[in-house]
Amino acid sequence: MLIRHPEDIAPSEITPLRTYLNRRQFMLAGAAGLLMASDAFAALSFKKGISALAANDKPNSLNDITHYNNYYEFGSDKADPAQYAGVLKTRPWNVVVDGAVEKPRAFDIDTLLRMPLEERIYRHRCVEGWSMVIPWVGFPLAALLKQMKPTSKARYVAFETLSRPSEMPGMAEGLLAWPYREGLRIDEAMHPLTLLAVGLYGNVLPNQNGAPIRLVVPWKYGFKSIKSIVRIHLTDTPPQTSWNLAAPNEYGFYSNVNPGVDHPRWSQATERRIGEFLRRPTLMFNGYGGQVASLYQGMDLRKNF
């Protein structure tokens, strides 16, 4: 994995959140509950500047990252999450980790915030053809799962999003079977690139980006990076996933970024970075092949899409 230390990163590549965000924007993003979470988050320390990017990859602006989102529980338009997610209450919040583990447990979100945090700058590629670069703050999923002591039956990891229709108006559209579900193989889940994010741009994770805790799997299409997690379940069978259930011919279980496998309704060979006019070639595994290609050795990645 390519790791760049703080002294290697040009100031232009990372813009502090406070340059973008003022108190008014905090209130718009989540009112008093978010303000309290932000104050608590600001008191935490984390390692900054860990990256896995090429030199010409520059993070998108905070406005891009927080106002162009897929989060269908709040609506299917890209602007809906920023408009409607502010009502979501993220305190109190528990994440249950259970299944094929020796030590199942429910974690309060503030306990998880005390995990050793670091900033990671990752590319993201959406199956619809757009991409971003986002500076997340979080911790490896493996660091949490190891505490639970997975058993020999733990071959897959299933994730589940909060289901709260009273605060999630998009659920009424019936686009998917709720709650939102996703899954990984255990080796994918334990890979050091797989992150549980609790913040971005150095501060608390906005509601529209999956507060208070979400998954980030940068070599897979964005819909694999499930938001607002309430349950992590280890199992010996492949878990059902929301988009695969909705359209199995379009969305496979693995969902690795692969420019050679077209979506049935569009090509995946190129992408448009938000904020740019021209399209660019899509990179295999979103550019993380050097770190993750060995996970799929011997597999037919056109069949196992």
- Is pLDDT larger for residue 225 or for residue 48? 225
Its sign, for the CA torsion 123, 125, 129, 133, is negative
Domain assignment of residue 302, yes or no = no
Residue span of the structural domain in which 29 resides: 6-296
Distance CA 124, CA 33 (A): 28
Residues near 184 by Cβ (< 8 Å), separated by ≥ 6?
156, 157, 159, 194, 217, 224
* Cα 188 versus chain centre, distance: 14
Which residue, chain included where needed, has tokens 């993201």? 124
Q: How confident is the model at residue 79 (pLDDT cuts 50, 70, 90)?
A: very high
Distance CA 269, CA 259 (A): 4
Structure tokens at 83: 């408009």
Please report the pLDDT score of residue 51 as a whole number. Answer: 64
Domain assignment of residue 45, yes or no = yes
Structure tokens at 217: 């799997």
Distance CA 88, CA 259 (A): 36
Q: Is the pLDDT of residue 11 over 90?
A: no
Q: Is the pLDDT of residue 282 over 60?
A: yes
Domain assignment of residue 206, yes or no = yes
Strand partners, 120: 50, 136
Question: What total of structural domains would you count in the chain?
Answer: 1
Q: What is the mean pLDDT of residues 65-89?
A: 98
Q: How confident is the model at residue 47 (pLDDT cuts 50, 70, 90)?
A: confident
Q: Is the pLDDT of residue 10 over 60?
A: no
Domain assignment of residue 1, yes or no = no
Domain assignment of residue 199, yes or no = yes
Please compute Rg for the chain using Cα positions: 18
What tens digit of pLDDT does each residue of 187-243 get? Answer: 999 999 999 999 999 999 999 999 999 999 999 999 999 999 999 999 999 999 999
Q: Is the pLDDT of residue 21 over 80?
A: no
Residues near 21 by Cβ (< 8 Å), separated by ≥ 6?
62, 201, 203
Domain assignment of residue 304, yes or no = no
Domain assignment of residue 301, yes or no = no
Domain assignment of residue 123, yes or no = yes
- Rounded to two decimals, the pTM is 0.87
Distance CA 183, CA 167 (A): 25
- CATH number for the domain including 116? 3.90.420.10
